[in-house]
A and B are shown apart, each in its own frame.
Chain A
Amino acid sequence: MAVLERIADNTAGSASFAELCRSLWADKAVATEDKAARLCRLECGVNTLPDVCQWLTRDLDFIFATLIVEQTARPGWSLTYVFYKDAASPWVHVAVQLDAGVSALPSLVGLAHGPSFDWHERETEDLFGLKFEGHPRLGEFVLHEDWPEGVNPMRRDFDARARFVPRARDPRWEPPTVVVDPGAFTMPVGPVFSDFAESAHFLLETVGEDVIRTIPRFFYKYRGVEKIAEGQPADRALLLAERFSGIAAFAHGLAFCQAVEAICGVAPPPRARALRTALAELERLRSHAAAITGICNSTALAVATSQAALIEESLLRLSCEATGHRYLFGAVVPGGIACDPAEPNCRHLVAAVEEIAEGLRNLLRMLRYSSSFLDRLEGVGVVADGYARSYGLVGPIARACGVARDIRKLFPYAAYSAVDFSVPVEQEGDGYARLRVLFREAEQSVAIIHDVLSSLPQGPVRLDQIRPRAGAALAAVEAPLGAAFHWLRLDQDGKVARYRVTPPSFTNWHGFHIAAENFAFQDFPIILASFGLSNAECDR
């Protein structure tokens, strides 16, 4: 009991947390800590794993971030479950070693926050061939039905450049179904659908008119980024980090560069950190403007769509003026920033985003008085608070259902610790709450850009040379769509040995089906737009 009281009292500070782990799991797990990285590492056996994870998630309210699987040098596997909680708590890495002969470990999906492990386990099963005992739904996830059984592309012995072998289409394929009402049927949507929709496939189960349940099918766009990055030099892999999801290129590029910098033990100069903050917020602003355009478009509000699209396009042009590229490709490099805007350019940028903020305020004011618009958003696609926690949802979607979690506050990077901003939260969890979060975050982004650029430190924008080092690091950033976790391991030549990305879309698409239950069919595009997720980012 005493231990539990201590947990309730104080989980702050990594030192005390490591001590707590030692006292509680003394004989079952080894706790080590890294104060500089605010990290506590718990090494435990396969059988203790569910207990440790249950303790972390159910009792301490930690959130599962990502599962990192590595094939170790001596034959076998290393699995690291990464957890995080709040600004006072450290990262917790729960590590498990598997011997070469063992290819099965217990599934964690039955735990209190089980759903958050679900997709990670399915992905690992598909790509590494590791079995999770007790998981009810393995297989047919990343690799689609016609992929040959037993070929696991993330294993070392699989050649990434092996070309596709045309395979026969399986004529026995039938859609999976859950609804068994008499007369129930499935409305297929996609993979090629709508005007400019990303390739994904949704099976809407219905008995007509109202959809009872949605079964999404993703990974149509799986390009094996994590696999093809292996063996590439860091600066070449940076291209992959930027371009696997072009609409959040800067955020993911930044996370990759932060991982490289952490491995090499260097820190970018202050001016670079400030510029990174400004550009990251510029990207967030643009991404949110795009999401707002999408929501207006889904409700067929033509003028609002055009107004939002005008804002989006001006932000694209602004990005191009600031960095030379409309999507900020090539702007971030390990050790700093590739382009150094002159003082007038910065002033122009600040003035332009202030103007855009005014435009967004006007738009929101008008939208709030358009009852036809609100009718279609309010109460549509509701994600309950409890689901947001058990699914470990991130970003604006989680913040729209009362979960105020933001990597910028939890683990400040770039210059975020130096700027003052707030994390907007709404409680309802419906489409309208998500829209309000988008608008309020856009407002904050403008404020951050203003703050950072008006007091830009002088000096270089990048380190001259970074000497490559072997090592591994986890970098987390708050991408426009939510928390992104990049795990990078470099070998001594500075080449990528393992690259693991858990983008926010991956985490949040998993929660999509919660919002897409028991709705009228015509609301489907609205629920889709109010989630505003990217399949490219999810599928990698």
Chain B
Amino acid sequence: MSIAAQLSAAFFILCAAGAAFAVVAPQRLLSVLLAAVGSLAALCILAAGAILLLADGEFHVELWPVLTLGTLTFGADRLSAFFLFVTGLVYLPVSIFSATYLKKYLAHHSLRYFCVLYHVLFASIVLVLIAEDVISFLVAWELMTIASYLLVNYEFERAESSRAGYVMLAMSEAGTVAVAIAFILAAGTAGGLGFPALRSAAPAIPDALRLVIFLLSFFGFAVKAGLVPVNSWLPLAHPVAPTNISALLSAVIVNLGIYGIVRVNLDLAPTIGAAPGLVVLVIGSLSALIGILYATIQGEMKRLLAHSTIENMGIVTAGIGAAMVFVAAGHRVVAAIALIAALYHLANHSVYKALLFIGTGAVEAGTGTRDLDRLGGIIHRMPWTSAFFLVGVLSIAALPPFNGFVSEWLTLQTVLRSAVLSSTPIKIVFAICGALLALTAGLAVTCFVKVFAMGFLGMSRSPGAAAATEARFGIRAPLAILAVLCIALGVLPTYVIPAIDRASIPLIHASATTALVPPFFVADAQQQEKVPPTFLSEFHDLGAQVGNDVLPGRGLVVLHRGGERNPVVFAMSTSYLTVALAVIIAAVFIVFNLLTRRRALARGAAWDGGLRNLTPELTYTATGFSNPVRVIFGALLNPAARQQTTAAVATHFRTAIKREYTEVHIIDRFVLHPPIDILRTLAGQVRRMQVGHVNAYAAYVLIAMLVALIVGARLL
């Protein structure tokens, strides 16, 4: 048994132990136990993932056979390893955070139930990732779905929890059914339920069936990934879930949807032709735009982050769609870049989204609210939390040199690489999607400037925010871990890309490492042939090889080589940017200090136009900040406004004007509500049959029997 398999076994033993502890240990120790066991399990999975990904160690374990359906098989390849690693990356800080966070439930909730489910969820997620046959995959998938539903609905006594949980479960089950049918259809051709059997039988699947399999599986996995038009459960589930579960939901569970899409469409039953890839690309781009649009106008932090998850999953999906199109068109290296961009973004999103959710938990613990309109000014009272949160905000807003920038930049560049394709209609689709993604990136900046500026800066707009207290160490530690990860993933892309490339090679059958982080600067004559020497020397002058001498990597510049005439398609270096930024900031600081050395520095209050007092009511709210977006995209958001005016004595003396805007999500409005309304109407029609007379029911039975008999006779 390989080390990775041993580590996995250890992981499952730890999860089982955690669940067992949860039943027997005293309540007040539970949260600490959960954190300890969860972190150890996460470390196991991190180690296993790292070994599998970097040391080429696959493993396969066959367990007992189930009836006639085949043998339950588990194993991990490098794609699984990548997802395992990301899962561990999130579970470690979330488990540490839970130790402090769960204490708030001690008074009125049973933690046993929670802790058992927490470990079950962790185990089921890992099982999904290492399942190697249809049965174990579906069983693990269902286990994960139910465990996550129960955890989201942990505060089930609240009405909105139950409703959110119901929507989540209903949509997830619909997805599971679709995935199951897709697998059964695929297995029908293969004659076996193991993944290797499916893989080898894939070329034999007829095109029409292949399309059906693609559509069903994509629908099923899209529900989990929260893509439009099946995203409705996500913004509902996040605000009601405990914050650590929200973090897992956004940073781990939605990833499983992406895992499914990649596993089926690029591995088990690769699609043929550009159409499926384009569908994925368009759905991804639309998800990104719609997600960020609704995120921007939200005032509740968790709901905002949930909508932003839809956006980020959209970007990842767009990358995968691009990869599928490039594979279909035979541009394997570009396809590899697209997939690397997508997976890179997925990892980044997991890291910063976990950071932001834990940060939100810290803010809520410190101020008692998650409503941005009631926050403000907490940077003075929660400096550590604010600093870590700022790292997360800069990362998710895709500002260099943070991690979100690297992957979004790669994704956008890949979409622009559609120039290599020959079909004009496809190029047009790519161009439109590129525009949507660019708009998304712009709105993301607006959205998260709002979150930080309105939530953390300015004046406190509620007593809770004015009396905010800094988060405890148990919350600051996971925030610090994630912030460091955000920076590391952003500053050192040349070390991350080869690792992700290893996960993508088995799927794309091409490596992008030499394309993205080329070993120019290693004396490799063969590799250098294609590159003009002047260009090479230019990069030498820029010091692109520096990291190569010091660190075991491939320089510090990410670039993509093109042909003879245009040797570099794109290039960037967040590493050097970081150095440059540090130098500039230091220089400004030094110059400023030199200039003001001999002058006394006076600090005065903010200029308020000579007002009596500057009160928080006179400063921008989050709603006010994002209202221009609401106005510009009014046609899309289509809010229903209702104005209420009250006056004293005469209409002239208004005492209150209240306008309420209610927005129904565009997807709900156009996709979900129409069929629901039709069903309701139909049900209303059918109800007329329920007259309540025994005679009528007897007549129904008679008619039904007659129909059955006639139909039966015909068929026979």
Contacts and interface: CB of A to CB of B under 8 A. Distances in A.
Contacts of A174: 613, 615, 617
5 contacts: A110-B649, A175-B617, A183-B621, A185-B621, A208-B626
If over half of B's interface residues share one DSSP class (helix, strand or loop), that class is named, otherwise mixed; here it is mixed
B660 interface: yes
A183 B373 contact: yes
A180 B657 contact: yes
Contacts of A177: 617
B373 A169 contact: no
B600 interface: no
A169 B613 contact: yes
B658 interface: yes
Nearest to B657: A179
A178 to B, nearest CB: 5
Given A169-B613, A178-B657, A181-B659, 18 more contacts: A109-B649, A136-B655, A145-B612, A173-B615, A177-B617, A178-B654, A178-B655, A178-B656, A180-B656, A183-B622, A185-B618, A185-B620, A186-B618, A188-B618, A205-B657, A207-B627, A208-B626, A209-B627
A459 interface: no
Interface string A144-181: 01000000000000000000000001110111011111
Nearest to A115: B652
Contact of A207 (B614, B617, B624): B624
Interface in B83-103: none
A145 B617 CA distance: 18
Nearest to B627: A208
Given A192-B609, A201-B611, A208-B624, A187 B618 contact: yes
B612 A212 contact: no
A117 to B, nearest CB: 10
Contacts of A136: 648-649, 653, 655
B107 to A, nearest CB: 30
Interface string A98-137: 0000000001011000110010000000000000001111
A181 B654 contact: no
B663 to A, nearest CB: 13
A209 B631 contact: yes
A363 to B, nearest CB: 33
Contacts of B617: 174-175, 177, 185-186
A137 B649 CA distance: 10
Contacts of B611: 188, 191, 201
A206 interface: yes
B374 to A, nearest CB: 10
Contacts of A109: 649-650, 652-653
A273 to B, nearest CB: 40
Contact of B660 (A114, A181, A191): A181
A183 B656 contact: no
A371 B477 CA distance: 61
B656 A185 contact: no
Given A109-B653, A136-B653, A180-B656, A190 B623 contact: no
Contacts, number: 119
Nearest to B648: A136
A193 interface: yes
B610 interface: yes
Nearest to A183: B623
B619 interface: yes
A109 B299 CA distance: 40
Contacts of B658: 179-181
A173 B654 contact: no
Contact of B624 (A115, A189, A193, A206): A206
Contacts of B659: 179, 181, 207, 212
A186 to B, nearest CB: 5
A210 interface: yes
B157 interface: no
B625 interface: yes
Most chain B CB atoms below 10 A, which of A188, A190, A201, A210: A188
Contacts of A463: none
A184 interface: yes
A213 interface: yes
B652 A118 contact: yes
Nearest to A172: B613
A201 to B, nearest CB: 7
A180 to B, nearest CB: 5
Interface in B537-577: none
A231 to B, nearest CB: 33
A155 B376 CA distance: 47
B608 interface: yes
Contacts of A187: 618
B370 to A, nearest CB: 14
B628 interface: yes
Nearest to A145: B612
A184 B621 contact: yes
Contacts of A206: 624
A203 B299 CA distance: 24
B653 A137 contact: yes
Contacts of B623: 181-184, 207-208
B67 to A, nearest CB: 57
Interface in B113-142: none
Nearest to B645: A178
Contact of B628 (A183, A192, A208): A208
Contacts of A205: 657
Contacts of A173: 612-613, 615
Interface string A472-511: 0000000000000000000000000000000000000000
A389 to B, nearest CB: 13
B460 to A, nearest CB: 14
A524 B437 CA distance: 36
A177 B299 CA distance: 21
A167 B709 CA distance: 98
B184 to A, nearest CB: 49
Contacts of A110: 649-650
Contacts of A213: 654, 657
B615 A210 contact: no
A209 B628 contact: yes
Nearest to B612: A173
A145 B611 CA distance: 12
Nearest to A185: B621
A210 B618 CA distance: 15
A106 to B, nearest CB: 12
Nearest to B655: A178
Contacts of A201: 609, 611
A204 to B, nearest CB: 10
B650 A114 contact: yes
A117 B505 CA distance: 83
A212 B655 CA distance: 14
A518 to B, nearest CB: 10
Contacts of A186: 617-618
Interface in B176-210: none
Interface in B389-425: none
A189 B373 CA distance: 22
B629 to A, nearest CB: 9
B624 to A, nearest CB: 3
A109 B612 CA distance: 29
A182 B614 CA distance: 20
Given A181-B660, A183-B299, A187-B618, A135 B649 contact: yes
Interface string A19-41: 00000000000000000000000
Interface in B592-639: 608-615, 617-628, 630-631
Nearest to B631: A209
Contacts of B648: 136-137
Interface in B51-72: none
A219 to B, nearest CB: 13
A188 B609 CA distance: 8
A203 B650 CA distance: 22
A134 B657 contact: no
Contacts of B620: 185, 208
Nearest to A212: B657
Most chain A CB atoms below 10 A, which of B648, B657, B660: B657
